Amino acid sequence: MGTALIGDPGGPSLLLDARRNLDAAFTEREREDHGLIGLLPDGIESMEVQLDRARAQFADQPSDLAKYQFLSALQDRQERLFYALLRSDFQRFMPIVYTPTVGEACQRFGHMMRRPKGMYISTRRRGHIAKVLRNWPVKDVRFIVVTDGERILGLGDQGVCGMGIPLGKLALYTACAGVPPEVTLPIVIDVGTNNEAFLIDPLYPGIRQRRIEGEEYLSLIDEFVDAVQATFPDCCIQFEDFTNRNAIPLLNRYRERVCCFNDDIQGTASVAVAGLFGACRLAGTTLSQQTILFQGAGNAAVGIADLFVKELVARGMAFKDALDRCWFVNSRGLVCAGMPRLPEYLTRYAHSLDAVSIPEGAVAGPDSPMTSLADCIEAIRPTVIVGVSAVAHAFSETVVRAMARLNDRPIIFPLSNPTNKSECTAEEAIKWSGGRAIVATGSPFAPLHFGGRLFVPGQGNNVYIYPAVGMAVYASRARRVTDEMFLCAAESLARQTTDHDLSVGLIYPPVGSIFETSVQVAVDVARLIFESGLAREEHPVDIAEFVRAKVYFPEF
């Protein structure tokens, strides 16, 4: 699927146009028509031959970061081949394009820069953001992934070097769910950085100032959102990797006014709830029987809790009872009633401890009667622990063994990424629980054998959700994105986990089949969009056929 291009479409300019370049796959007639004779070797190659060469070149790279750079260069040179390569083996290529390798790529972004990608909108463009957006050569942009770079994965403030995240996210929109790449636009809003290393690094490519905050920051984001509506009226905005103090307020500020969502909040929630559906099937329990203890109390944790509560209420549980099934541990200890300085979005989860038995010898802090996760487990007796804190090794052997002692099938989700920020490894969770834990991790871990059984850890990665929701929004031209869409996505994803998957502990469909899985999720979400009256497209006779007809295939 192509798009209108500016400039001479033939000769050398065609070979430099990544979207249209087929390299040695141009036919003899195409070479004649476009003035390519002599600019390429005379051999004419199929896509499969080019894929074989790309795989060999990829394998020759000496490190994961070098592999990332190779794929980035391939995307710049020959876009269709890049996407065909990703789809040929998601298990192999996805950890390079996105987590965990993208984290290292962001840290090194300023030193690796070659060809500019996406758009950069700094505080210096205040008052002129709409004009800046019009510099983008494609006029029908349907998706923007935007970050201010302040909380990149578990790495903290990466400033404009956080561009690796929108680039990776949008590549997976296309590879996993078929959103056409020409309708996507990655953006970094450069409001400065508080990363001292970047401020003194001569190769840091952003503005060298500390971050703006408060009303000054908010007015810039307001201008950006309004400029997107004016410039790309059918565009959906995905907010990505904003810090806790901004993410939820920004989502609440815009979600009823424009088509937008926050993947860290809603996408993470959806994939986690889908994992809980699968875990309950595997354990022979129900969602209503679960009590969750979160290690971490930021955007992701609250997003998961909110969607979990929404599902429990939909199943008939009273709202207050559903809230009581969610507990949080933050950097100050167990979140409870009376804890000072809680953000507003967390206060509904600050429960009374009247009915909780605090373990003898529990270590108290100035703001909480329990600061140890292990003590909190003994007091709350959760069936599920979810790690979204980016605190490596937070799920210690003591913690996992406590969960295994209290539950026949403890559900353990160390979801933080990159890998070196994971609360525990899949192997640790399985071994320390005697093979009884049901595990989903944020980063990929290899299958393992324990106790004579094969275990295949499920990766609770948002990539199962946001590309599919994106495809549904693209196909239907949805006016808004709602939490119900993410709940629908979770249910659709869970339905596609087979009994065979569950038999090896895999609570998500295999990553290798993610394209087929994502398209089906997109169909189900699109059906909800049409039924809810949120689509700007006319209701099709066959929604599945309608969505599948819009899927991008990187063929030539």
pLDDT digits (tens, 9 = 90+) for 402-424: 999 999 999 999 999 888 899 99
Asked if 320 is an active-site residue, the reply is no
Question: Is the domain of 243 the same as that of 369?
Answer: no
Confidence of residue 1 (pLDDT cuts 50, 70, 90): very low
Mean pLDDT (whole number) for 513-529? 98
DSSP 248-273: HHHHHHHTTTSSEEEIIIIIHHHHHH
Confidence of residue 332 (pLDDT cuts 50, 70, 90): very high
Question: Is the domain of 247 the same as that of 107?
Answer: yes
The verdict on residue 114 lying in a domain is yes
Domain containing 245 equals 101-258
Long-range contacts of 531-539 (CB under 8 A, 24+ apart): 532/482, 532/484, 534/476, 534/478, 534/479, 534/480, 534/482, 535/476, 535/477, 535/478, 535/479, 536/234, 536/476, 536/477, 536/478, 536/479, 537/475, 537/476, 537/477
Please report the pLDDT score of residue 196 as a whole number: 96
The verdict on residue 537 lying in a domain is no
Domain final residue, candidates 45, 60, 79: 45
Question: Is the domain of 254 the same as that of 293?
Answer: no
Q: What is the mean pLDDT of the chain?
A: 95
Find residue 262's DSSP bridge partners.
239
Dump pLDDT digits (tens) for 335-344: 999 999 999 8
Dump pLDDT digits (tens) for 177-230: 999 999 999 999 999 999 999 999 999 999 999 999 999 999 999 999 999 999
The verdict on residue 554 lying in a domain is no
Task: Output DSSP code: residue 235.
Answer: P
Question: Is the domain of 105 the same as that of 227?
Answer: yes
Please report the pLDDT score of residue 9 as a whole number: 59
CA separation, residue 373 to residues 8, 289, 333, 391 (Å): 63, 21, 8, 12
Mean pLDDT (whole number) for 431-441? 97
Domain final residue, candidates 400, 416, 442: 442
Question: Is the domain of 296 the same as that of 155?
Answer: no
Asked if 169 is an active-site residue, the reply is yes
At residue 6, does pLDDT exceed 50?
Answer: no
Question: Is the domain of 22 the same as that of 115?
Answer: no
What CATH number does the domain containing 220 carry? 3.40.50.10380
Question: Is the domain of 402 the same as that of 355?
Answer: yes
Q: Which is nearest to 471 in space by CA: 530, 522, 535?
A: 522
Dump pLDDT digits (tens) for 23-78: 999 999 999 999 999 999 999 999 999 999 999 999 999 999 999 999 999 999 99
Question: Is the domain of 221 the same as that of 309?
Answer: no
Query: Residue 280: exposed, middle, or buried by beta-carbon count in 10 A (0-12, 13-18, 19+)?
Result: buried
Torsion sign (Cα): 492, 498, 501, 503: positive
Question: Is the domain of 114 the same as that of 237?
Answer: yes
The verdict on residue 190 lying in a domain is yes
**Token pair 């700094």: residue:** 122
| DSSP H or E stretch at residue 450 | strand 448-450
386-395 per-residue burial string, b: 16 or more CB within 10 A, e: under 16: bbbbbbbebb
The verdict on residue 283 lying in a domain is no
The verdict on residue 349 lying in a domain is yes
Distance CA 31, CA 43 (A): 12
Dump pLDDT digits (tens) for 179-191: 999 999 999 999 9
Beta strands 438-441 and 333-334, pairing class? unpaired
Please report the pLDDT score of residue 3 as a whole number: 41
At residue 150, does pLDDT exceed 90?
Answer: yes
Question: Is the domain of 311 the same as that of 353?
Answer: yes
Residues in contact with 354: Cβ distance below 8 Å, sequence separation at least 6, in sequence order:
none
Percent of the chain with pLDDT over 90: 92
Active-site residue (options: 67, 68, 83, 98): 98
Query: Residue 438: exposed, middle, or buried by beta-carbon count in 10 A (0-12, 13-18, 19+)?
Result: buried
At residue 7, does pLDDT exceed 60?
Answer: no
337-365 per-residue burial string, b: 16 or more CB within 10 A, e: under 16: eebeebeebbebbbbebeebeeeeebeee
Domain final residue, candidates 419, 442, 465: 442
At residue 2, does pLDDT exceed 80?
Answer: no
User: How many C-beta atoms lie closer than 10 Å to residue 19's C-beta?
Assistant: 14
Question: Is the domain of 362 the same as that of 252?
Answer: no
Task: Output DSSP code: residue 532.
Answer: T
Active-site residue (options: 67, 169, 310, 421): 169
The verdict on residue 17 lying in a domain is yes
Confidence of residue 287 (pLDDT cuts 50, 70, 90): very high
What CATH number does the domain containing 409 carry? 3.40.50.720
How many domains does one find in the chain?
3
The verdict on residue 148 lying in a domain is yes
Dump pLDDT digits (tens) for 83-100: 999 999 999 999 999 988
User: How many C-beta atoms lie closer than 10 Å to residue 498's C-beta?
Assistant: 11
Distance CA 279, CA 133 (A): 44
Question: Is the domain of 235 the same as that of 306?
Answer: no
At residue 511, does pLDDT exceed 60?
Answer: yes
